[in-house]
Structure 1
Amino acid sequence: MIRLSANLGFLWAELPLQVAIRAAADAGFEAVEFHWPYHLTAAELKAALNAAGLPALGINTVRGNVQAGENGLAALPGREAEARAAIDQAFDYGAAIRARNVHVMAGFASGPAARETYLGNLSHAADRAALEGMNVLIEPLNSRDAPGYFIQTADAAADIIAALGRAEVRMMFDCYHLQIMQGDLTRLYQRMAPMVGHIQFAAVPGRGAPDEGEIAYDRLLPALAALGYDGFFGAEYRPAGPTSESLGWMRAFR
């Protein structure tokens, strides 16, 4: 069974977030997920979720100084206090809206010091996740869109997860990023399945609707479900126009 989630960081981005949640429900999505919904209070967002009858799958930690090009804080040596404040903010907010996951963004960094910093901050996030009954997600980002991001492959994420040894920390298996970096997605998922906490998808190479590009998602998503994945598949693509006009793929996928 294919259950679909709308990532409202990209889908219906032209609408106020509360309206986008309702639009996702009306379109037939069974869950939603967010990037940075913090401009709304948690109470406002929870009310919109309740009204639409949709669960929230996850939110991201803040990126840091976006104007300076930052894309996460958790792997940046010397920024531990900011990183942990961002983690606490995300878990406080996520718990209030009953989100299942917090994606802890690593940022642009490399080397042993960054790895130790990241492990320490993820340990803090895992403690919060255990307290709240939630999970931590870490996500490889491709080197074309995010050059220098600390985690760029599924194997790098798996190494971090194994080093932590915390059941609360799992991998965001984003087919878009991982196709660009590694490909062979079915076998890659088979290798990573015990660590995968959520799957996202978008067309490659353009990150548009999933019925474009080089990946046959109408076959891939059922194949991943047949391999045992029983979670939601998160549509995280950039529509070429109004989101409502980009949803023809949903019928074929189901």
Structure 2
Amino acid sequence: MRFSANLGFLFTDLPLPEAIHAAHKAGFDAVECHFPYGIPASEVAQALRDTGLPMLGINTWPGDRGAGDFGLAALVGREDEARAAIDQAIDYASQIDATAVHVMAGITDGGALAETCFRANLAYASDQAAAHGIAILIEPINQRDVPGYHLSSSDHAARIITELGRKNLRLMFDCYHLQIIEGDLFTRFQAVRPLIGHVQFAAVPDRGEPDAGEVNYAWLLPAMVKAGHTAPFGAEYRPRGATTAEGLGWIGAFRG
């Protein structure tokens, strides 16, 4: 099995280029991150070249977190901001050869206007990204952690992907969120596997290292591989200890 370090949660005591090197040293096969925009793309690209690690994905800018934003793409009346964030992400991703951009939906009333807005922005994002060979990801996020998040089921995501009909629009299958939302993870994985662009994981319920909690990843991830998933799994968890390094024993155990 191959693993990607999500540098939004791992090695966060280091600047992003140094975190890429730390992930390489720790034995990860790829990296991904949340919001790299404060670091020049040239510095991130150099770190990726130096280590040989691919950057699997970045997120669109989430908006004003202090004001309650958690994404912009489904927010009616803020379409210009949403598309500026999409353009920013695609431009940055193209400079560092990232393979995907996660377009964050945001917190809405769940109504038809928000859904129409979200789909229009996703169509725009998919069409813009296609010219660069970049995938667009959408991720169901659980309502316990983010109440009101517009996209909170794999069925909803699958309908959007199918009905928009863009080949580069894919599902982010985050096991942490989907265990809280739906459970029965392997059955859900099999049901939507043709639509999946990336798989992430973390322990449930504490979102720590994947070697504890209610999900048996030592069984689940190899089962996903046997079912046909060949890409690295994204480790998007919050380390329980003082440092990322002290909690990395799971990598060897899972590969062993």
Q: TM range, normalised to the smaller chain?
A: over 0.9
1:249 is matched with: 250
Q: Which is further off, 45-54 or 95-104?
A: 45-54
1:144 is matched with: 144
1:83 is matched with: 82
Q: What letter matches 1:225 in structure 2?
A: V
Deviations 1:110-131 (Å, cap 9, x if unpaired)? 1000010001000110111210
1:210 is matched with: 210
Q: What letter matches 2:137 in structure 1?
A: L
Q: By how many angstroms is 1:232 displaced?
A: 1.1
Q: By how many angstroms is 1:228 displaced?
A: 0.7
1:35 corresponds to 2:34 = yes
Deviations 1:207-250 (Å, cap 9, x if unpaired)? 00000101110110000011111111000000012000000101
Q: By how many angstroms is 1:185 displaced?
A: 0.5
Once residues 248 and 69 of structure 1 are traced to their aligned partners in structure 2, the CA distance between those partners, rounded to angstroms, is 36
Once residues 23 and 64 of structure 2 are traced to their aligned partners in structure 1, the CA distance between those partners, rounded to angstroms, is 30
Deviations 1:138-181 (Å, cap 9, x if unpaired)? 00000110110000111111111112111110000000000001
Once residues 12 and 128 of structure 2 are traced to their aligned partners in structure 1, the CA distance between those partners, rounded to angstroms, is 30
2:162 is matched with: 162
Q: Secondary structure at the match of 2:131?
A: helix
Once residues 185 and 34 of structure 1 are traced to their aligned partners in structure 2, the CA distance between those partners, rounded to angstroms, is 24
Deviations 1:61-80 (Å, cap 9, x if unpaired)? 00011110100000001111
1:171 is matched with: 171
The within-5 A match list for 1:225-240 is: 225-240=225-240
- Which runs of 5 or more structure 1 residues have no equivalent in the other structure? none
Deviations 1:178-197 (Å, cap 9, x if unpaired)? 00010101110010001100
2:103 is matched with: 104
Give the aligned length.
253
Deviations 1:87-137 (Å, cap 9, x if unpaired)? 000000000000000000000011000010001000110111210011000
Q: CA RMSD in A?
A: 0.6
Once residues 163 and 111 of structure 2 are traced to their aligned partners in structure 1, the CA distance between those partners, rounded to angstroms, is 15
The within-5 A match list for 1:162-201 is: 162-201=162-201
Once residues 177 and 153 of structure 2 are traced to their aligned partners in structure 1, the CA distance between those partners, rounded to angstroms, is 8
- Percent identity over the alignment is 57
Q: What letter matches 2:251 in structure 1?
A: M
Once residues 140 and 94 of structure 1 are traced to their aligned partners in structure 2, the CA distance between those partners, rounded to angstroms, is 22
Q: Secondary structure at the match of 2:136?
A: strand
Once residues 240 and 252 of structure 1 are traced to their aligned partners in structure 2, the CA distance between those partners, rounded to angstroms, is 18
Q: Scaled by the length of structure 1, what TM-score is found? A: 0.98
| Stretches of 4+ aligned residues off by more than 3 angstroms | none
Q: By how many angstroms is 1:52 displaced?
A: 1.5
Once residues 202 and 78 of structure 2 are traced to their aligned partners in structure 1, the CA distance between those partners, rounded to angstroms, is 32
Q: What letter matches 1:38 in structure 2?
A: Y
1:72 is matched with: 71
Q: Scaled by the length of structure 2, what TM-score is found? A: 0.98
The within-5 A match list for 1:128-143 is: 128-143=128-143
- Which runs of 5 or more structure 2 residues have no equivalent in the other structure? none
Once residues 165 and 225 of structure 1 are traced to their aligned partners in structure 2, the CA distance between those partners, rounded to angstroms, is 26
1:125 is matched with: 125
